[in-house]
Each structure stands twice: as C-alpha cells, then as structure tokens.
Amino acid sequence: MAEPVAETAPAVLSGVRIGPLRAGERVTLTDNKNRRHSVLLAEGGRFHTTKGAVEHDDLIGQPEGTVATSVGGTAYLALRPLLNEYTVTMPRGAQVIYPKDAAQIAMTADIFPGARVVEAGAGSGALTCTLLRAVGPTGRVRSYERREDFAAQARLNVDNFFGGPHPSWDLQVGGLVENLGDEPVDRVVLDMLAPWECVEALSAVLEPGGVLCAYVATTTQLARTVETLRVQGGFTEPEAGETLIRAWHAEGLAVRPRHDMVGHTGFLVTARRLAPGVTAPPRKRRPAPGAYGEDYTGPR
C-alpha cells in the first residue's frame, strides 16, 4: 500500500504529473488550427472528430508532447492541461473565475505557503485550485458554498485536477457567516453576491495585517463593498481595480494586437485588517459634488 501513496502524493499536492500519459488522465488535444479539445483518456477509448477518430491507446504510455493522428490524417498534439487551461475547460455549475483574475487574487491577497485561507463561495472550484497550489501542503483552505450542486461540482473538479482529495482543503456546504467559527485566518477571498454582509464576522477572525479580497462583478457591488469596509473601521482604505488581458499576434512582420480580448470580468476589492481597537488615520479625498449626498459628513 505504501508504493501507490508515495507515487501519487506529489500530484495530489501540486496537480502536476510527470512521466508517460496514463489512463484516467485528462489531456488537451490541439490541431493545426490551434483548436483545443479536452479529453479524458481511457483504455480502448476514442476521440471522434470530423476527420476521423483518435485512439486513446495511441496516447496512453507515450510521453507528454506526443502527436497522434486521426484516421483521416489530422495530427493532434497531446499535452497535459496547465492549470489555466483546466479551469476554463472543466465542467462547471457556477461561472468560474478566469485565470487572469485568479492570478491577480493570488498576488494581491498575498497567498503564501502555509497560509490559512477562507474562501466563499467555492463555485466550480477554479479559484480553489489556485489557492491550494499557493498554500501548499502546510497551509489550509476552507471553502464555503451554499448550493450543494455547486459544491459537488467543485469537489469533482478539484479532485480531478489534483488526482485525488487534497489534504489541505476543507469544503463545507452552507453560508460563511453561519459556519465560520472562531479559528483565526490569514487571508479571506470572497466570490459571492453580497460580500459586505460578511465583513463584520470576518473582522473577528482575520489576523491583524491579514488581507480581505472580494471579487465582484458590478460597480454597484464594488461601491457597497468599499463603503462597508470604510464604515466598519477595522480595515485599511480599500483598493479597487480590474485586470485586462490583450494577446498579440506575431507572425513575421505582422505584429499587432489580436482581435479577441479578455476584457472586463470582475473587480477586485482588497483591504488589510488593522490591530484590534485601532482606527487608521482618515484619508483626505475630494469626492465629486453629489457623490455622497447632502448628509455626508466624512473627510473631504
């Protein structure tokens, strides 16, 4: 029993597999037009295309980076999917957080090896994979998801990517505030409809200096999250932003931006927890006339 555990442990911790392709693994097949297909390898299986089938047995046992040819003569390059490829092609219940935003969250929230992280909600598990990669075997990710069907899909996707249950992950079905408890945490990542409703509860468990990061889709959510953090008083001045990715086409002298672009997907709001009882010095700002209404008495 010891040999299989030792063999699979690195994959479970990192999601990275090395060596020949195996049955039960997911691979990405790419044709000469850069069209990609996600395929789960199975002994005796076939991937059917308009140019004929590709035999799974032609790939199983071969090194990564192998080219398989369909019956019709079309060549397909086989590679194990990277995390960013996996998250955009995996089965989903809820909308996934795109790789560009997941990478920004990992950096902005400063997710480090050994960190104790709270995530809500789990969605389809895309961001969870990034968080587990970042905290490593010594960290802990506690994910909360209200919907059982979303939680089941998230567990399936995370287990498939890591090759089994990740020892650093705890997934709970239910609301964050009702199930949070009093265990201290280092980082909080919120991907939910109303993150402002959790600020007070999270302030009680987030360590001083810890980071709260909220991913929201609309400017209305952005504004309410920022104002709630300001009014709560136990956090630094919130910072808000978005990430845009523009790919480039480069072929000979034809170097130009590609026509497709991953534009707006969501906003990130981040703030750091202050020490208990401490209030940050008020930041002077000059809001536009009418921005806060006639009853606003804050700093100007």
- Annotated binding-site residues for S-adenosyl-L-methionine read 124-127, 145, 191
Q: Given CA atoms 189, 192, 197, 198 in this order, what sign does their dihedral have?
A: negative
d(CA 266, CA 222): 9
Single out the residue of 189, 179, 240 nearest to residue 213, CA to CA.
189
With left for phi above 0 and alpha for psi between -120 and 50, is residue 58 left, alpha or beta?
A: alpha
Single out the residue of 271, 109, 143 nearest to residue 196, CA to CA.
271
Q: Using DSSP bridges, classify how beta strands 185-190 and 206-216 pair: parallel, antiparallel or unpaired.
A: parallel
d(CA 287, CA 269): 19
Single out the residue of 195, 204, 230, 182 nearest to residue 119, CA to CA.
195
Exposure string over 13-22, b if 16+ CB within 10 A, otherwise e: bbbebeeebe
Q: Which residues are annotated as a binding site?
A: 124-127, 145, 191
Provide the 3-class DSSP secondary structure of residue 39. strand
d(CA 291, CA 58): 64
Return the number of other C-beta atoms located less than 10 Å from residue 147's C-beta: 15
Which secondary-structure segment (H or E) carries 154? helix 148-162
